[in-house]
Amino acid sequence: MTHFNRKLPRSLALGAAAALLAACGGGGGDNGSAANPTGRLKLSVTDAPVDDAQAVWVQFRAVEFKPEGAEPVRQDLKDANGNAAPQRINLLPLQDGRAAVLLDGVVLPAGRYEWLRLLVDNEPNVRDSYIEVAGNECELRIPSGDESGLKLIRGFTLPEQGALALTVDFDLRKSIHAPPGQQGSGKNCTQAYMMKPVLRLVQDAEVGGISGTVANSLFTDPACARLVYVFADAAGAAAGTTIPVDYDGTAPDPMAMAKVDQVTGAYKASFLPAGNYTLAFTCSADRMDASDTLAFSAAKGVAVKAGLVTTGVNFP
């Protein structure tokens, strides 16, 4: 087992994900003057499922926002008393539409923004960001996460005297890379795991979701990873026209993967921008860093509308 130096008390690491770990970004509180208008922003994080891990803890320290034509604006995360303090969040439970709040109601200059950047703590041999695998706490290295940060280059506009809610979707299944010899059983943390984050940024008012069930009889291997893959169809194309493939870094890669409950067969894909999608499920033994070719079911086409969950998308 890897042993870490402790930078934060254990209590900070064990907050329930359901409580959403809200951390106000500070900043006072009006809507600015006519010459310097402001707006309020809420920023959350969510996750896609990953196999072979019991927890994936990432310690966030601050968020930087880049207004057009101006220097970046930094917002340190804060504790319940309003003091600057990093927040360690377990990303693994943040599925099925759940999210953890990093900043809530933070006041920023209104206008157009070019990007945002998440700053995370990632010091070697320190218990800040780490992964729990097979009962062991293994170091999780995030290249440049504490220096240049995790940058999301997607523009957005903060309305004057208005509010905007954004969510950063971590796709852990694409992001976590096990060290050589650490796949399968017998993981002992002799080497650090790597996180090369695959992220996307969405505006909460522009996204919807899909839910349904997959019949248990369709999963022939009880130990397989039960997943519904969600692909965004090409602009102007009808729903259900994408040929499902595994993630390989080239189009068409899945936008999201939803885990199927092994008891009920239920699944839910959330934070999907409005548009047409292709869904297919797989029962292949798709583990972290596995290179197996996946076998998919017959695809289903689904249209997603903002603010709505399209229900009843079932695989009987």
- In this predicted structure, the answer to whether residue 33 has a pLDDT above a threshold of 70 is no
Instruction: Name the residue with higher pLDDT: 245 or 239.
Output: 239
Q: Using 50, 70 and 90 to split pLDDT, how confident is the model at 185?
A: very low
CB 170 within 8 A of CB 91: yes
Which residues have C-beta within 8 Å of that of residue 143, sequence separation ≥ 6? 194, 196
Q: What is the pLDDT of residue 141?
A: 86
Q: Using 50, 70 and 90 to split pLDDT, how confident is the model at 276?
A: very high
Q: What is the pLDDT of residue 314?
A: 95
Closest CA to 7 of 46, 51, 54, 57: 57
Instruction: Name the residue with higher pLDDT: 92 or 27.
Output: 92
CB 252 within 8 A of CB 283: no
- In this predicted structure, the answer to whether residue 219 has a pLDDT above a threshold of 50 is yes
C-alpha–C-alpha distance, residues 226 and 287, integer Å: 11
Q: What is the pLDDT of residue 148?
A: 65
Place of tokens 């940058």: 151
Mean predicted confidence (pLDDT) in 152-176: 89
Give the percent of the chain with pLDDT over 70: 80
Per-residue pLDDT tens over the stretch 110-158: 999 999 999 998 787 777 888 888 888 888 888 765 566 788 888 999 9
Q: What is the pLDDT of residue 193?
A: 84
The SS3 assignment for 207 reads strand
Q: How many beta carbons lie within 10 A of that of residue 160, not counting itself?
A: 14
Q: What is the pLDDT of residue 187?
A: 53
Per-residue pLDDT tens over the stretch 49-74: 676 788 999 999 999 999 999 999 99
Instruction: Name the residue with higher pLDDT: 143 or 22.
Output: 143
Closest CA to 46 of 266, 309, 269, 245: 269
Q: What is the pLDDT of residue 279?
A: 95
Residue ranges of the domains in the chain? 10-197, 206-310
Mean predicted confidence (pLDDT) in 268-281: 94
- Least-confidence region, from 51-60, 207-216, 232-241: 51-60
Q: What angle do CA 27, 32, 38 make, to 5 degrees?
A: 75
- In this predicted structure, the answer to whether residue 159 has a pLDDT above a threshold of 90 is yes
Mean predicted confidence (pLDDT) in 93-107: 90
- For residue 49, the 8-state DSSP code is -
Closest CA to 94 of 171, 165, 166: 171
Architecture per CATH, 206-310 = Sandwich (2.60)
Q: Using 50, 70 and 90 to split pLDDT, how confident is the model at 306?
A: very high
- Taking the alpha carbons of 78, 121, 289, 255 in that order, is the dihedral positive or negative? positive
> How high is the mean pLDDT of the chain?
80
Q: What is the pLDDT of residue 10?
A: 34
Place of tokens 């240049």: 148
- Size of the chain, expressed as the number of residues it contains: 316
What distances in angstroms separate CA 121 from CA 16, 156, 206, one per listed residue? 20, 26, 31
Q: What is the pLDDT of residue 60?
A: 93
Q: Which two tokens stand for residue 275?
A: 């548009």
What distances in angstroms separate CA 257 from CA 45, 107, 260, 286, 307, one per listed residue? 16, 33, 10, 12, 20
Instruction: Name the residue with higher pLDDT: 82 or 314.
Output: 314
- In this predicted structure, the answer to whether residue 247 has a pLDDT above a threshold of 50 is yes
